Structures are given as structure tokens and as C-alpha cells.
Structure 1
């Protein structure tokens, strides 16, 4: 039984032996009815965790980038979750759930718990036009459960957070900012009536996710053709392009470029390669094109970015 809004009540036992899992978990009250639970661990045994909440007045948003085998199940659902599965899910506190994780799985998870009566004020404060939000957040009228895929922007926000040392006022500030950005991004998405991924055919969803993984695995190469990717997904080119955008919120080309630029940013931060070497390694057409795309994405040229590190 958990209640993330009761001070001093942890979401997990205070001491978990390394034989079970190793890594960091961190709990933060972000204020205004919002709580964050940050997890970056490796599981050393198979584990079954059961969640049964004490109250029904909040919603949990789970951003899950686990690399490994993990499953989430409840009374009416069972899904594989993690980076290459459903990696964003929203579950009402009225629902009980079971979380199964296999040994060796590396879990990076950010849970955002928000009071239902806070959702409406948060949306208004951030100028999000949300129709019938009072009905959506009324526990007597609606039980919230959605399985989805996070946007590339949300993924980049989380990977930037993961680079920071856990704990202390600086981390708390970044974690709170991350929580607000992710909440705002997700509420804008569903307020805009974008397709909910759980309505997509499971086979088609798996095919699109496989193409996403293919693009990430080949991020140092050139962008493959739509024809090739559509054939690999066993779809027509038009269906592939439409479904990719519905599921990811972006085009295949934009998804590839966003992640290529993120890789470039990571390489520059390591300070082991020159700007020219990074450009060559990631197969940009030339240094000028790389600098132009980098500045367009991050607001700084590669040279200025390095000087500010």
C-alpha cells in the first residue's frame, strides 16, 4: 500500500539489498500536489512488485526507459513495457497493478504522481485548453488508464536529467523542472486529441517501434529510404509514414535527425572528439550543415556549446 503524498512514507523500502537491485532511487515532493519518484537501477534477481494505493485522488504518469524484460498487468490489461515497448503509461490510483521485471534488466523510470484536482489548475496555468477536464479528473465519472509512447522531446529531457548526480538542491531543481515540462508536454498532446496508442493494432505498433530501434541502431549512418523502412515494416509507404507520425508525433526523417543531433551533443560533452570528427562520425554532409542543424536544434553552435561546458 502506498500514498506518495504522505510525508515520510516511501514508495519502496528504505533499504533494498544489492542482491535485489543496485543503483539510485529518489523521492521528491515537487509541491502543488505533484510528487516525483526517480529510479535508475539494475535488477539482480527476478522481481514481482505489487502496487495498491491508499487513496483514489491522484494519477501516476510513468516514463519507463527500461532495457530488459518488464511487464505491467492489472485486472483488464497486460503489456510489455520499457524503452522499446510502451514507455509511457498513465494509471489511475484506483487501480491495482503488478510489475514484473527479469534479472539483468536496467530500469530508468520517472514516476510523476499528481492530484486529480491539480490537473485542471496545472492545465490552466500552462495555457492548455483542455475540454471537459473536470469530467476526466472526477473519480466518480472516469478511471484514467492509457498506454502510449513518449515523444522524442520527452526522451531527450529524461536523458539530460539522467546525466546529473542524484540528490542535492541542484538535482531537485532539475527534477522539478523536468516534471513540469513532461506534464505540460503530455497534457498538450492529449488536449490536442492526438491518437491514443492503445487503439493501434499491436502488430503495427510493434513494427513501428522496431523501425525506431533500427534508426537508433544506425544513427551514425545516412537516413535510410522510406521505401526500405516501409518494406521492413510490411506496410505501404503511405501507411508507414502516417502511422509513424501518429505513434511518435514526428516524421521518420525528423525522428532520425533529432536523435542524430542528440548523439552529437553527447559526443561533444565527452570532449574526446573535435567538432569536425563528430560531424564525420555521424555522417553529416559537411561541417557547415552539422553546425546549422545543431544550432537549429539547441540554439547554440557546436563551438559555443563546447565553450560553455
Structure 2
């Protein structure tokens, strides 16, 4: 055999052995933590940089919701409308009703009229005669408003929600001295004045120090708002009220004559929520 051939085979064998050993070395041991990962810049890895890179984590949806809640609270407390006396916190805890007005089940929820604001709680499904809401309602208290009007409705799936109880609640004087009032209030309804049950409400008040807007600017803004609202109502067509609507409001406000209630309903084009707010303003001035 040619010596050169033997030398070539020996060299080839040594190369094959070397390649096999290299393969073993490549696959030996565990992969490092940064394997197939983009390396961070050196200045971020050094401890001298004032802002070190933060590790990436999965975003928790609950944290996003909490952040949005904080932002909404900040927006609520950062803007104060004109003619505002302070911030009112109303907690609707629970109610004890004397009668279930539904054949199958009763799903009660609360609606509050305070000034020009109309606020509602969530519905307590199958709450029946003992609904529980534990809902905190934050709103602004305008100057001159000393009470609010509360209604309890039975939510219906296929018909109009039925008002089963109501109460005209005067704000306790203690809240304006920094007290938190936790009390039960009587409810009226078909059973009679103050005979429909009771509701547990917690009320607190936080005054604000903000210069009032000049009266001419307020009147101008109110006039423009009323003009726009009237135009929208005219575009939607005339809304008529029924005799039952006037009787229902008269039952809620027995001290107000029914003719006055009819005039208010006619002025508000049958909008009962707007009529209730107007009647509350009238009763507050008496």
C-alpha cells in the first residue's frame, strides 16, 4: 500500500475522532438561562446605571382594572362642577320590604335623585323582600339641595320596571359637621306612607373649597343646556304623560297638589325623572 495512502487514512481517522469528541462536548451539560435570548446592552446590566432594566412579567387584568379605577377616582376628585357645596357619599346597604310584588321573583335595585343627578345601584337578583346592595354612590352636592329622593324598582325582563317603594330623605345635619350617619329610613309604597319597609343608608359629606363661577356664566350655561335639551326633545317628538303618572308622583309627594304635578309633567314632556328633580327643588324651597 502506498505510504501516502496510509498517512491520509490515519489523518482522516484522527479527524473523525476529533469531530465525534466535539459533538459530545456540544451536547454535554445544561443550557444557560440566556440561551437563544436577546442580550441586554452592557450599560443596562452594569450596576452604575441609575435605571436598571426591569424584568418582564405577565400583566394581570385585575391590576389594569385597579389602575383604571384609580384614574377614574382621580378624575372625579380633580374636576368640580360650579355651584358645588361638597362631595356626598351615600352607601345603600340593604332594605327590608314588607311585601313581594312579583309572582316568581323580585329583583330590586335603587335609584337616587339628588339635584340634577340620577344614580342607580346594581340589581340584586332574587333579592326579594331583603335585597342587599352594599353599593357606595359618590356624587356632588349642589348648593341649596338639602335632601334626596330614593326609589326601589323591581327589574322586569319583558315589561317596564315597577316602582315598589320610595322615600324622601332629608340630609342629616351631622354630616356637615364631619359625622358619618348610619341609619334606617322608612319606605312608602302601596302599603301606605312609611309602611312599605325600611332601608339602611350610610351618609357622609366632604366639603370643598373652590371659588364659585360667576352667576352670569352659570345662567348662560344653564340656558344653553336647557335650550339643547328642549331641542332634542322636540326632535324626538312630544312625550305625553298619563293619569297614572301624575297619581304616582302625587303618591310620592302628597304635599304637592296634583295640578302642580301635572303642570310639571307637561313642562318636562312626561319625563318622570326630570319631574321628580323639579318637585324636589320645589319642596326644598318650602
Normalised-by-shorter TM-score class: under 0.3
TM-score (norm: length of structure 1): 0.21
Higher share of residues assigned strand: 2
Higher share of residues assigned helix: 1
Structure label with greater radius of gyration: 2
